[in-house]
Structure 1
Amino acid sequence: MATTLNDDTATSTSTMDSAPTICDALQYGPLRPPVQSQKNEFTAQDLSQLPLFMSSLDDVPEGTNDAIEALKALAYEGEPHEIAENFRQQGNESYRSKYWRDAIEFYTKALAIGCNVDEINGACYSNRAACNLELRNYRKTNLDCAEALRLNPRNIKALYRSARACLALDKISEAEDCVQRGLAIDKSNSSFKAIDEKISSRKSVLARLQQTSQERERLSKMKEAALKRALEARHVIQRITSARHLDLSEDATVQLQDPLDPQSDLCFPVVVLYPLHLQSDFIKSLSENETIGSQLEGILSPSNLPEWDKESEYAYPGVDVLVEKKKYDMHGRPSLSKIGPKTSLRKVLTEGKLELIDGILTVLVVPKPRLAEFVKSWKEDNPN
């Protein structure tokens, strides 16, 4: 059997020249396709460098791809109006595909060319306004519409888009002006008629809101006046500080039971201080016809004393209640006054024994056996 030599390998001509047979398959196993020595593989990164697969020519760093640089240069070849028109058309394509931001970029490039064709520039401003309107950039919408109308006061699309933007911003008079100007150009324009109805509806809503706000403000002033008269009638002195010293809710302040009737009962928030133990309680609302004792009876019940009272010193009625008087003693110091357990809050106020600070009353509670100790300490803290 003849053989052919190829380099250092001798191979049977019958094996090399004839097609594989069924016997060969039985003898040598399943046939396999020849193995390629090289593979042509493209990664996603490789494909992204090809113009066909690019989302934008600007995605490629400058100077890294000669073909791309050539394509970029082509975009700026021609007369300024031709280049601007090309960018405008690309912007229109993006707009039709609802790629608003891409469209804005193309219109901006068109305007940056600085061509002297008002029709092209006006269309770019108006169309960029449409994109900003879709993106709810209402201020930018109005700015672009203003430029479009400067170039062409009869640009009906710019007027319509400006009307919509003004309506979204509740600039009712400006929106109405745009509609009137648009209908003066095309009195049968259905889009302007539709937006005019929306403007009228929103105008009514805003009018009702304004009326409600004015009524609320009027009522608030009436309440303030009634409260002022009530406090003056009871000879209550108030002192307002720059900031409330306690983190209390907004309704924790002196109020009338009937906010519009100065003769109705006053209710006060009361801070109860236990100075010997640096503790406190808060009574949100105490009527002027009630007594401090009626509240302390529940707060300091012998069966429900606070945890910090380890010695059970504050069991009611074994406590004294004091207030710092607004009047000063002969040495110019504020003085302490004891409140009887059956003394109503109204009597305390009208006797001029204390003042209302930020609409809140403050009382001091100490155990009876330790009253002298507290008074001595208080005087040391309030020297001549």
Structure 2
Amino acid sequence: MDSAAITGGAPQYGPSKPPAPPQESKSTTQDLSQIPLFMSSLEDVPEGTNDAIEALRALAYEGEPHEIAENFRQQGNESYRSRFWRDAIEFYTKALAVGCSVDEINSACYSNRAACNLELRNYRRTNLDCAEALKINPRNVKALYRSARACLALDKIPEAEDCVRRGLVIDGGNGSLKAIEGKIYSRKEVLARLQEASQERELFSKAKETAMKKALETRRVIQRTASTRPPNLPEDAVVQLQDPLDPESGLRFPVVVLYPLHLQSDFIKSLSEEETIYSQLEDILSPSNLPAWDKEGEYAYPGVDVLVEKKSYGMNGKSSLSKVGSKTSLKKVLSEGKLELVDGILTVLVVPKPRLAEFVAIWKQENPN
């Protein structure tokens, strides 16, 4: 007889299909994270959702207050040794929340929580916990050491020194305290040098201000603050003395050159008081280097005039407009009071010689006296 199976129809040849795997019933599956053995924390599961976990939670609070607190403290110590600082903080906090009356446990929990905060660089919290630990036990050397480290990290040198001093009175041979004492001394020296350098900079800055004030007063330079410093000027575009501490040394000024008839401008970063304004224009407006906006070549040097404007902001004051001679030094212009130093910047006007009368007429219309 043929080996094919008889099924009431055609014979079936070849291997039979493997049986389908049994389907898992939903009622028999369980999330492993809900089983205490596989949980990272009893707090991972909401209250009331797992009877076994609720029982374990209840066990954590069984016993006398000092026993419960000590249990949490030990769990905190285990987390600390495993470098799980935040978990350790949670256990120490729970131990303190029990409110047991054993000072040794409470002081240790505050001190150990301070150690965790120190590792997390929460220096303020470290000091707060150390203070609580020392209230309970003023001879808690670990709390003094940890507070010293936190104070040192915050550059609170006197406080750090006080913690070390108090700790060494209790335990004169404590190596950790002596080590931090050396670090405090080194940092103290660094801070002293920084403070000395800062004071020197401050004194130098005041001396420079005094010299500059005297230099400008001696030269009778009119100064005014308008808080309208032209935009996009370099930060170092300021009035400078050749010798910052000698008011009699040469002065140099930043100068904005305006071309009012074309609403354009140039900038001279540093012009000596002994120079003329024209000496700079010779380069700026050389016939071979005229600005692109001067399509007619009107400003080719020496075909320009320089004017200075002295504004008046009083009710009865008068504004003035003066022409500057080509051989007149900047120092003389300033001493004659025809040009103001406004917000540390000088401003001059440049117009083509053929259009001087035109510009003066426009200026008078805009500045009626």
TM-score (norm 2): 0.90
Q: Does 1:324 align with 2:309?
A: yes
Which sits farther off after the overlay, 109-118 or 160-169?
A: 109-118
SS in 2 for 1:303: helix
Is the Cα contact below 8 Å between 1:256 and 1:264 reproduced in 2?
yes
Is the Cα contact below 8 Å between 1:323 and 1:338 reproduced in 2?
yes
Aligned length: 360
348, 355, 372: which one pairs with 2:340? 355
Where does residue 4 of structure 2 map in the other structure?
Answer: none
SS in 1 for 2:62: coil
Partner Cα distance (2:342, 2:81) in 1: 66
1:24-47 per-residue CA deviation (whole Å, 9 max, x = no partner) reads: xxx845x986543234899x9922
The Cα of 1:187 is off from its aligned counterpart by 0.6
Partner Cα distance (1:330, 1:50) in 2: 89
The Cα of 1:78 is off from its aligned counterpart by 2.7
Where does residue 231 of structure 1 map in the other structure?
Answer: 216
The Cα RMSD (Å) is 2.7
1:65-124 per-residue CA deviation (whole Å, 9 max, x = no partner) reads: 333333323322333222222221111111000011111111112222222222111111
Is the Cα contact below 8 Å between 1:329 and 1:335 reproduced in 2?
no
Which sits farther off after the overlay, 109-118 or 347-356?
A: 109-118
Is the alpha carbon distance of 1:82 and 1:328 closer, same or farther for their aligned partners in structure 2, counting shifts above 3 Å? closer
Q: Does 1:98 align with 2:98?
A: no
Is the Cα contact below 8 Å between 1:328 and 1:335 reproduced in 2?
no
1:191-242 per-residue CA deviation (whole Å, 9 max, x = no partner) reads: 1111111111111111111111111111111111111111111111222344
Is the Cα contact below 8 Å between 1:176 and 1:196 reproduced in 2?
yes
Where does residue 372 of structure 1 map in the other structure?
Answer: 357
The amino acid that maps onto 2:258 is L
187, 190, 204: which one pairs with 1:219? 204
**Mapping 1:52-91, distance limit 5 Å:** 52-91=37-76
**Mapping 1:185-200, distance limit 5 Å:** 185-200=170-185
Is the alpha carbon distance of 1:326 and 1:277 closer, same or farther for their aligned partners in structure 2, counting shifts above 3 Å? closer
Is the alpha carbon distance of 1:50 and 1:277 closer, same or farther for their aligned partners in structure 2, counting shifts above 3 Å? farther
280, 285, 297: which one pairs with 1:312? 297
**Mapping 1:1-384, distance limit 5 Å:** 28-29=14-15, 34-39=19-24, 46-242=31-227, 244-325=229-310, 332-384=317-369
Is the alpha carbon distance of 1:290 and 1:135 closer, same or farther for their aligned partners in structure 2, counting shifts above 3 Å? same
Is the alpha carbon distance of 1:371 and 1:64 closer, same or farther for their aligned partners in structure 2, counting shifts above 3 Å? farther
1:271-315 per-residue CA deviation (whole Å, 9 max, x = no partner) reads: 111222222111111111111111111111222111222222222
TM-score (norm 1): 0.86
Where does residue 22 of structure 1 map in the other structure?
Answer: none
